Amino acid sequence: MKPQVDKAKQRKSRIAALHIRAREVGLIDGDDKTAWRKWLADGFNKTSSADLSDSQLAAALNALKQGTKPTGRALHDEINRRLQALGKAENYAVGIAKKMFGKDRLQFCTDPELRKIVAALAMSQRREATKHAG
C-alpha cells in the first residue's frame, strides 16, 4: 500500500505547486478562481485541477512555468467581468488606462498594461468589499 500513498501524496504536491504558480501568474486572485477555471477549461476541458490526469497536471505545470498568462481577449473578458462586479461601465477602465498609461482606449493597451488594469480593478473590488463589510 505504501506506493499508492506516495503516489497520492505526489499528486497532491503537484496540485499545490500548480496552484502556487497560478497565483504567481495572476490566474488566481485571492479567493477568485474565475480566470483559473477558464484557463483550465480552455486548455484541458476541465474546471478543477483535481480533475486533471497526471499527464495533464504535468502539462499544466509546465505551461505555467513557461510563463503562460492570460492575454488579449481573456484579459478584456476579465476586465469586463470585474467592471460588472463593481457596477461600473467600460469608461471606468478606460479612465484607468488613460491615467496609468496615457491610452484613450483599452484596445491600445499591451497585455502587461491590461494585467495592471485588472490588478487595479481587483484592488477596487477589495476596497468596495472592505467598505461594505464594516
DSSP sequence for 95-116: HHHHHHH--SSGGGS-HHHHHH
Shared domain for 61 and 108, answered yes or no, is no
Q: Which domain holds residue 129?
A: 72-133
For position 3, what pLDDT does the model report? 64
- Look at 133 and 86; give whichever has higher pLDDT: 86
Buried b (16+ CB within 10 A) or exposed e, 112-128: ebbbbbbebbbebbeee
Shared domain for 27 and 52, answered yes or no, is yes
Shared domain for 45 and 93, answered yes or no, is no
Q: Which residue type occupies 16?
A: A
pTM of model > 0.75: no
Shared domain for 58 and 100, answered yes or no, is no
Shared domain for 46 and 81, answered yes or no, is no
Shared domain for 114 and 79, answered yes or no, is yes
Share of the chain above pLDDT 90, in %: 33
| CA–CA separation, 124 and 91 (whole Å) | 15
Shared domain for 84 and 116, answered yes or no, is yes
- Contact between 96 and 57 under an 8 Å Cβ cutoff? The reply is no
Q: How many contiguous H segments (helices) and E segments (strands) does the chain have?
A: 6, 0
Neighbours of 69 (CB within 10 A): 16
Neighbours of 49 (CB within 10 A): 21
Q: Quick one: pLDDT band at residue 111, thresholds 50, 70, 90?
A: confident
Total domains present in the chain: 2
Domain boundary among 65, 93, 117: 65
Shared domain for 83 and 32, answered yes or no, is no
Shared domain for 76 and 120, answered yes or no, is yes
For position 72, what pLDDT does the model report? 76
